[in-house]
Structure 1
Amino acid sequence: MTRLRVGSGSSSLDDSATAGAEAARAALAGLAGTTPGLVIVYASIRYDLTELLAAVRGVTGDAPLVGASASGQFADGEFLPAGTSVSVMILGAGVYRFGTAAITGIGADTVAAGHKLARQAVDAAGAAAPHSALLVLADGMAGDMQGLLTGIYRVTGALVPVVGGAAGDDRTFAGSYVLHDGEALRDAAVAVSIGSDRPLHVVAAHGWQPQTLPMLITQVDGTAVLEIAGRPATEVYNEGVANYERTRTQPARIQHTDGTGEVWHTATAFGLIEPDGTQLVRGAYIGEGGLLHTFTPLPEYAAVQVVSADQDDLLDISDQVVNDALRGVPDPAVMLMFSCVARTDILGDRAFEEAARLHKAAGSVATFGFYTYGEFARTTGVAGYHNATITALAL
């Protein structure tokens, strides 16, 4: 199989058009004359995204473009904090078949939106390839992201893995965007169907450690968790937090301040136990009136554990996620990666170490990604929406 040509570039210039053009030119140079097959753009919302995209496409031409607003980015080991930069990755044509699609209004019915999005992306890719994967980027504030994956699964089934992430907005909570060709879209999702002559596989790893035995969720109301094992959920959750605090020096509750005031993040969460024993991390917080919530609803009677992580826990999985993603990939060129902004809360002033360790583990393979409001890695079953996790696809 011919090796994929890739190039990446970034810019932190203030002018939207100048920054977009600078990043795109650097990325195009890496293709060494190869025709662009797909352009991926991640950017801070400080930019006028329409102007930025016009400048990028002024360099890359009419090659299909997808992307997202972010809460920070990383490229080839460089950590680009929230609110600073734009990053561009260009994948060369001829090795993989790319078909892109975008839909709006996803929040009204994320399941139906996922179904429509997957169908359009698959159709856009044209003739069926022996193997495929779906890259999905979605407005991180548009509702139930697991519902979006459920709708996608109804089209692609179990054989097509899904990778990607939910767009961020520099932690301002002002609204996130997905990008498609020359448009910046809200309440929307974009997808890329990637056709391949070899199997494509998606991986996920997080480093979170259990603090309780497995328990059943016995009562929920939307995102509110009311009972765990027949007991008040907040009481059970706080016991897990206490277990963490007895054994760790890092606080279990980490305060992050942004333009909207003080928001509490936590180094504890739920691990939703999958049939194969792995865990999908579900972020949790205690809201108004002491009510326990998760960012995505937990299924009633699901098995969960309270899980925790400190800085070393999160960083120590870097080699694992890279090795898993590269295993069996002949002559890989790039790892498309997605890491949660909640990980940067816990890592604090060590956040740059994650990007550096991932790239070091990847060796000569390029690494490119952004910090999300939730990650996609659907591999075997319907579930595949994660929090505080790294997901990846190697091409």
Structure 2
Amino acid sequence: MTHTGPEVKEGAAGPVVVQADRGGTDTVPTLLAGLRAVHPALVLVFGPKGDGLAALADELAPHLPPNCVLAGCSSAGEIGPGGYASDKVVALGFPARHFRAEAIVLDRLSALPVAEWMAGLRRMQRDFDADPARSVFGLLLADGLAGQEDVLVSALDAALPHVPVIGGSAGDGLDFGSTWLLSGGRVHRDAAIFLLVETDLALHQITLAHFRPTETRVVVTAARPDRRRILELNAEPAAREYARLTGIAEDALGPADFARHPLLLRMGGQHHVRAISATTEDGGLSLMAAIEPGMVLTLGHAEDPTRGMAEALDALPRPALMVLAFDCILRRLALERDGQDGPMSQLYARHRVAGFNTYGEQHSGMHVNQTFVGLAFLPPPDAA
């Protein structure tokens, strides 16, 4: 691994990770110093919000190769060369020597023009004309507050059934106010960015969750599916009942408590988190994934996430050139509360993990929460 200053990480012949202060006078020069070294075909930027994301794109684009695809989004936190970071810009450069990419904007999420999305995705795949000797995968960056990730991943799975897709929902710190996405030199809202990527590097997907189900089950007796909101659990106001089950005072509930005591939905023989983002003024619970009346949920208990992560990264067949990471903000909050964010950052730095903290993750045709979803880029088995 080579370093270009303390804020740049690059695996041999692999992607480069660059970090800079958000909004600083040296932000763009710092990012370009690392990105230019690999002559990127694709650059992903994570962190900036709104006008800051647009301004960053305007300054970066003229200095990148003409055919370089530039995309990104706002985040709930960043993962840079040293692990977890805050109020930073993290840029990932994918060298043209090993990568080729195209992007499409799936807009008007609130209107759900699914047929239009699927036609555009199939046309994109046809025009992409992938090399059968190389691997193809998809990346999805979605508006984390539009509430349509479940429909998005279903549409992608139907339109591109043989393309593995992973992704993350854009964030807004812990404000949950607005999220922004970047593609084609423009900033988008109420939209998703889908990238089709081809590479000659070996790929290895990593998916981890750090919770176990308890014996406590609850029934969603009233909900607002269109708002991803639980109104009642067990025929009681949802926040009050959740507080009773967890032993936490209702007026003291916060994101770290939700991270430590997730609500789980059993699907396909596995438990998946239906993460809580906040309590509501009417005593409900606002969720980060789909919910329906009648669902039976299990109260979960968070466990130490560092052990499973270390085992998964150490089990890679070869050291990764980089691991692109979509890591739920609730995992990070749980780590910070337990004082384990430092060890996790060290683990991420050692294994070249980079990306951002999300409002939700996508993989295997599902939208999930409180999960780490990563894609490791490895040297080919026959590489020297």
Report the TM-score, using the length of structure 2 for normalisation. Answer: 0.79
Compute the displacement of 1:226 (Å): 5.5
| Separation in 2, partners of 1:93, 1:233 | 56
SS class of match (1:212): strand
Compute the displacement of 1:178 (Å): 0.9
Compute the displacement of 1:320 (Å): 2.4
| Separation in 1, partners of 2:201, 2:22 | 39
Q: Is the counterpart of residue 19 in structure 1 residue 27 in structure 2?
A: yes
The one-letter code of the counterpart of 2:73 is A
The one-letter code of the counterpart of 2:347 is K
The within-5 A match list for 1:1-395 is 4-12=13-21, 14-15=23-24, 18-29=26-37, 31=38, 35-45=39-49, 48-62=52-66, 63-81=68-86, 84-109=87-112, 111-112=114-115, 115=118, 118-119=121-122, 121-123=124-126, 125-127=128-130, 129=132, 131-157=135-161, 159-196=162-199, 200-213=203-216, 217=220, 220-222=223-225, 223-225=228-230, 231-232=234-235, 234=237, 241-245=243-247, 253-254=253-254, 267-283=260-276, 285-299=278-292, 302-309=295-302, 313=303, 316-321=304-309, 323-324=311-312, 327=315, 330=318, 332-348=320-336, 353-354=340-341, 356-357=343-344, 359-360=346-347, 363=350, 365-376=351-362, 378-379=363-364, 382=365, 384-395=366-377
| Separation in 2, partners of 1:331, 1:349 | 30
Q: 1:144 to 1:385 in 2, by over 3 A?
A: same
Report the TM-score, using the length of structure 1 for normalisation. Answer: 0.77
SS class of match (1:204): strand
| Separation in 1, partners of 2:110, 2:261 | 28
SS class of match (1:308): strand
Alpha-carbon displacement from aligned partner over 1:190-221 (angstroms, at most 9, x marks no partner): 11222356774533223123233456656644
| Separation in 2, partners of 1:224, 1:27 | 42
Compute the displacement of 1:293 (Å): 4.2
Contact 2:17/2:80, CA 8 A, preserved across alignment: yes
The one-letter code of the counterpart of 1:67 is G
Q: 1:75 to 1:268 in 2, by over 3 A?
A: same
| Separation in 1, partners of 2:313, 2:196 | 18
Alpha-carbon displacement from aligned partner over 1:354-376 (angstroms, at most 9, x marks no partner): 4752552673x421111222222
> Which stretch of the first structure deviates more once superposed, 132-141 or 203-212?
203-212
SS class of match (2:101): strand
The one-letter code of the counterpart of 2:78 is Q
Compute the displacement of 1:125 (Å): 3.2
| Separation in 1, partners of 2:329, 2:150 | 18
Q: 1:345 to 1:277 in 2, by over 3 A?
A: closer
Q: Which runs of 5+ in 2 are unaligned?
A: 1-10, 378-384
Contact 1:283/1:387, CA 8 A, preserved across alignment: no
| Separation in 1, partners of 2:326, 2:136 | 19
SS class of match (2:270): coil
The one-letter code of the counterpart of 2:375 is L
Alpha-carbon displacement from aligned partner over 1:34-59 (angstroms, at most 9, x marks no partner): x3121111122276322211222233
Compute the displacement of 1:181 (Å): 3.8
Q: Which runs of 5+ in 1 are unaligned?
A: 257-263
Compute the displacement of 1:76 (Å): 2.4
| Separation in 2, partners of 1:91, 1:116 | 28
Number of matched pairs: 362
| Separation in 2, partners of 1:240, 1:13 | 37
Q: 1:179 to 1:326 in 2, by over 3 A?
A: farther
SS class of match (2:254): strand
Alpha-carbon displacement from aligned partner over 1:228-287 (angstroms, at most 9, x marks no partner): 6xx31646x7566545449xxxx982269xxxxxxx966433111121324244326542
Compute the displacement of 1:305 (Å): 0.8
| Separation in 1, partners of 2:187, 2:367 | 23
The one-letter code of the counterpart of 2:254 is I
Alpha-carbon displacement from aligned partner over 1:286-324 (angstroms, at most 9, x marks no partner): 423323443322245555312233xxx3xx323424643
The one-letter code of the counterpart of 2:262 is A
SS class of match (1:290): coil
| Separation in 1, partners of 2:269, 2:137 | 22
> Which stretch of the first structure deviates more once superposed, 86-95 or 99-108?
99-108
Percent same amino acid at aligned positions? 20
| Separation in 1, partners of 2:376, 2:168 | 15
| Separation in 1, partners of 2:193, 2:15 | 21
The one-letter code of the counterpart of 1:76 is P
Alpha-carbon displacement from aligned partner over 1:131-176 (angstroms, at most 9, x marks no partner): 432111012122321111111111122x433212111223344421
Contact 1:121/1:192, CA 8 A, preserved across alignment: no
Q: 1:200 to 1:79 in 2, by over 3 A?
A: closer
| Separation in 2, partners of 1:326, 1:105 | 41
Contact 1:45/1:170, CA 8 A, preserved across alignment: no
